[in-house]
Amino acid sequence: MLFRTGRDRLRDRFEREFKAVFPSLNGTALRLTRDSDDAADLVQEAAVRAFDAFERFDGQNFKAWMLRILTNLYINKYRQRQRTGNQPSLDEETMDEPVAALTEIPDQQILANLLEDEVEAALAAVPEIFRTAVVLSDIEGASYDEIAEMLEIPVGTVRSRIARGRAHLRGSLERFAIERGYLRQD
Amino acid sequence: MSDSTERICRLIDGDTDANEGAAIHQERQSNPDVEATYHWMLFVKQVVSTKCTPKENDPLLATCMERIAAIEKSKRTETFVTRHAWALTGALAVVIVGGTLAQRSFQGQGLGDTQVASIVGGAAPARNTQDLDSIRAADAFRQLNQSLGSVHISPAEELRAVSMEKGAFEGRAFARLVVRDSQGEQFYIVAIENASGKLNVAGKKQGRYTIGQMNGLNTVSWCNGGVSLVVAGDSTPNRLVELADSIRADH
């Protein structure tokens, strides 16, 4: 095109920024929905909404802004849809969680032997509201304040959800380590 | 879940102040459970951050880009139409007016196909409609001649007048006479004011006549002085020519 308009430049900028964060968005969508079709729909819809609102983006942190759009969309739409299936409603206060009984400390050998799929499966087994906080914190590197803003919840709730999510993961990984003989059961 | 797990997670994530951090480290030394929890929480964070990687998906990325391109295209069109609504409306008006003027200019003062078809088909508004059941064709033709002024057409003996309409269409006076022959077949004899003497109707030339079709009827048209005449009917062109010959006063 010989002449580029303001909208052309806006679209170019959006595409550039979107491509850079796309793997993170796709990974987050897959981990939230646990379904590749739902994840694809979620990412597409988030892209469309973000492009629509791109003129209002403050230019500070595109990844955090995109993740906020994606998680909000997931919470408002996809989670609701998934809940209409057989998934029980999750209550943060009454959630059962594995209680670690081991005082043994994990070592790097366990980490080296863990496969990506095994960790993904352990993460997928974490109840959704805790999983979302852990994904945003430990995979996407968002701060507590950013997560609170993305999920529109108080920072105190973010702290609690991350701790509970990690406690669940600890339980799964402990079982894995015991099964493989890396740890002894008390 | 113990409160210490949450405090340990906050320490790991850098969400504690110096005093809180020091207190937790002190607890680690005195409590093996706290020490184990500290290492497990560190381990979990490390495992998740190193094993759960971003997911590439080129086809999905391409689909997203296509959807954005489609939205952009529709947005552009919308913006253009909104921004230039007045100009587009104006341009459309110019095209319509210009087209009409060009058509008239092209035809000069002549009579066009559309005008003739409207009058022949009865679509043109009539000022005066008369039921002529009781009037002989000769009277109807006399009236027709009176209304046409300069042109004179003769009644054919075989014709019976059914009705006559007079009116004006696009500034032209016209008279539309419905007649039946002895066989009961219906014909329309239409006379339209046409000072230019130009009759721009589509059809085949045959002598003074133009033989064509309008509104599904065969037509024979010709000009006579300041009037254009059309004989139309669901008959063969030859029959219409025969009829036209019989009513033409100048024949």
- pLDDT, tens digit, for every residue of A64-82? 999 999 999 999 876 666 5
- Residue B60 banded pLDDT, cuts 50, 70, 90: very high
Q: What is the DSSP letter of B223?
A: E
CB contact under 8 A, A104 and B37: no
For position A137, which CATH number holds? Answer: 1.10.10.10
- CA A94-A99-A101 angle, to 5 degrees, is 165
Question: Which candidate, A65, A60, A72, places its Cα nearest to that of A140?
Answer: A65
Among the three residues A83, A117, A151, which one is the final residue of a domain in this structure?
Answer: A83
pLDDT in tens, A142-176: 999 999 999 999 999 999 999 999 999 999 988 88
> What does the DSSP 8-state code read for residue B135?
S
Beta strands in B85-216 (DSSP E): 111-112, 126-131, 160-169, 172-180, 186-193, 199-200, 204-206, 209-214
Chain A residues touching residue B76 (CB < 8 angstroms): 7
In a domain, B62, yes or no: no
A15 chain-B contacts, CB cut-off 8 A: 65, 68
- Per residue in A103-124, pLDDT tens? 677 877 777 788 889 999 999 9
* Whether B5 contacts chain A with CB within 8 A: yes
Q: Of A117-121, B95-99, B197-201, which range is least confident?
A: B197-201
CA-to-CA distance for B198 and B110, rounded, in angstroms? 4
Residue A161: closest CA among chain B residues belongs to which residue?
B6
With respect to residue B190, please indicate whether it lies within any of the assigned structural domains: yes
B207 domain-assigned: yes
Tokens read off for B7: 């405090």
- The domain tally of chain A equals 2
A82 shares contact with chain B (CB less than 8 Å):
no
Distance from CA of B1 to the nearest CA of A (A): 7
B141 C-beta neighbours (distance < 10 Å), count: 23
Pair A75, A131 in one domain: no
Contact call for A11 and B68, based on CB within 8 A: yes
Of the candidates A21, A31, A131, A15, the residue with the CA atom closest to the CA atom of residue A66: A21
Choose the final residue of a domain: A48, A83, A118. A83
Instruction: Give the range of the structural domain holding residue A76, as residue numbers without chain letter.
Output: 6-83
Residue to mutate among A36, A103, A172, with most B CBs inside 10 A, is A103
Choose the mutation target among B55, B76, B83 for the interface with A, i.e. most A CBs under 10 Å: B55
Q: Which two tokens stand for residue B84?
A: 């230039």
Domain that residue B9 falls in: 3-51
Q: Are residues B118 and B191 in the same domain?
A: yes
ipTM score over 0.95, yes or no: no
CA distance B89 to B226: 40
Q: Considering only residues 39 to 78 of chain B, which have any Cβ-Cβ distance to chain A shorter than 8 Å? A: 39-41, 43-57, 60-61, 63-65, 67-68, 71-72, 75-76
Residue B33 inside a domain? The answer is: yes
| Dist CA B112 CA B104 (whole Å) | 9
- Whether B251 shows a pLDDT value over 60: the answer reads no
Does the pLDDT value for residue B107 go beyond 70?
no
Query: pLDDT class for B101, splitting at 50, 70, 90?
Result: confident
Cα of B225 vs its chain's centroid, Å? 39
B65 found inside a domain = no
